[in-house]
Structure 1
Amino acid sequence: MREYKAEIVAVGTELLLGQIANTNAQWLSQQLALYGINVYNHAVVGDNLERVEEAFTLAQKRSDIIIVTGGLGPTEDDLTREAFQLISGMEMEEHKDSMDKIKLFFTNQKREMTPNNRKQARIFKGCTVLVNNAGMAPGMKMELDGRIWFFLPGVPREMKQIAADGVIPYINELTGNKQMIKSLVLKFIGIGESTLEHTLKDLIQAQSNPTIAPLAQENNVVIRLTAKEASEDRLDALLKNTKLKILDRVGDYFFGEDDQVIEQVVVDLLKKRSMTLAAAESLTGGMFTEKIVSVDGASEICPGGIVCYDTAIKRDVLGVSGKTIQSKGTVSKECALEMADQVTKLFGSQVGISFTGVAGPKEIEGEPVGKVFIAIRDVKGYQQVESFLFTGNRNTIRKRACLKGLEMIYNYLK
């Protein structure tokens, strides 16, 4: 089967400014992958005729299938048609059915149609019109020197409707649906990207199908497996076999797949064990508890937590002994263990976790910026305290402490 190179070009200055996310390209890439179409390039270009023309010229040179979203509206900065006309020389005309639909819309709304709305009904002569049942401007499909072009509105609901009705059926026919692409994301915590990659070096070097791609994300390290096959069952078998080989080496650090996040896994484990968790937070300032309660159903396992940033709150509200604070300090393993113990008693939970340390900007009690103690205590007498020296700015240190706490609780529950 011929391999088609696809490209998605999104037109709109608002995308470049970050005012909206380019979810259209993400969705289209996912759909094309189901039919074995590789998307080699995503392009985003602002509402400037010269730059849109340049983007289209480049796409015409390097891609077999080009899907353009946006720039089909009624205003002067909607320049998709004009840019494509410059590279193709194709003539445009008004599409009667689309124009009738636009007129009817304004009639039904009892509003006067401004002349610029006629622009939305303009199409290229000889194109295949893709009916827009969710809006006004129709989509278009055409060929230019062997390249296949699709033009879709930028409004997601309109884009998805036209793509589902007009683009995907064509892609299915083009490929014969003989090959599918499917990805599986494996998530790991407590192991660095370089260590993970080194441990799996031979598997990565020998990869073919599925491909194995280690990736670093803000809160964890992931491996993305991508397989190509003719059926869903064969895809799943390929992915499963490769996953098992990977977990045989680094399974101790594995916590979930695809959209799973570590806080969700922790909450699920607490529910499974019928346990509750409370947190005493100094430098993290409630960040850990916020992560936990962001998960649906967290009320079943989290009775509450306390932000004990001030020394007096640690002593007078949480109940850490004044002797410990005076002799060992608030940034110490002894204080962290008492905090975890006291929060368990205060909230009647089965397990408690505590965070105390120095987020910055200056040292505290002789301890450097980034020094953090995290402790876990449970009602059966288990206790664990770890010290860390995190780098980064104030908020980075707090985030890393929170993530490490989630890792420690996960390993405790596991």
Structure 2
Amino acid sequence: MKILDKILFAQDFASTSKNLQNVAMSLAKTFKSTIVPIHVLPEDIVNPKAKELLDTVAKEKLNETIEAFKSNGINAENPILKHGVAHDLIAMTASAVNANMILVGSGENKSKDKFKLGTTTERIIQYSEKPVLVIKEDDKFNIRTILCPVDLSDPSKRALNNAIIIARRFDANLLILSVSEEQTSSWFTSKEELNKENEERFEKHKKEFAKFLEQFNLDNLNWDKLETRGEASKEILGTIASDSVDLLIMGTAGRTGLNRLVVGSVTEKVIREVPCSFLTLKSQDVINLHLETDIKDFETLYKAGEQLEKDGFYEEAIEQYKASLGINTMHVPAYSAIAKLYDKLDKPEKAKLYRKSANEIKERIWYNKIEEEVRKLRGS
């Protein structure tokens, strides 16, 4: 079972590339992912000897990366070396290799702005339909707190669905933030009327936010709901600072709809100033569940069911538990786990059926033990 199958690892061999490689390994171990390293060289090098030398060095470094992954027990595909415009080729390659996401560093910038993104990274976010995980310089990716801002749109719904599963895998606290934008129009005749309007907007927004959250499975998750008023980008950045957020997860298209080069004005403002690492999602999920259907080992099936249950995939977990019962029909924990999940899915009749089966098996095992003890006492 895999939920994050493949990561395209964009390397620039800068001073921060070693840390980025360590983050790639940490992700691969957490999600059992395959890593595909890629490096893009410029295509406008005129001197053939210089071009040949750059190619040789790049191939050597890519091969070193592959060896580092394999020595740490991580599955890695052959590295990719391309020539041309980096952001365009990285975005296209992510689709070509069917990556779940692109992993990239925040890049270097020549301004004094501490958090400004490098040009290549910013353009990868703009051009790629794949999710993009951007790691800030020297971030060890020790995820304790995740922030997912939502504007109640479909892109933010996608972001939250992925954030929930990622938070579960990292055992992190998830902060779900929604900002009620305030009216600042001069049409109101008095400040009192303006304040009243914004208060009513905020109350309406809180109700819509609560209804929005009803769509998600938040069971067994450490999470908090945050409701604020004001300018969305400022509230997001303020929350990151005040709550020591380690990872920001955002949908990259706003209320105006999806467009290949549009990431949404709020997202654009935030990612240029955000001090922590962040994950952006446009039209595709990071998390994409792949169940292995040819498993014949009971223990593997049962453990897959446990992991699916922990990740919040209740219906898929039930199917894995049932598959394990196809091998071992007397396994009481599997019956009990299925019953518990049917309770959570509000299917009490099915839960009752599997709970009854579990009890019947326990009674049968008990009686078998009694009979065995009696036979021993009789000497038979």
User: What band does the TM-score fall into relative to the shorter chain?
Assistant: under 0.3
Larger radius of gyration between Structure 1 and Structure 2: 1
Bigger share in helix: 2
Greater relative CO, 1 or 2 (CA 8 Å, sep 6+): 2
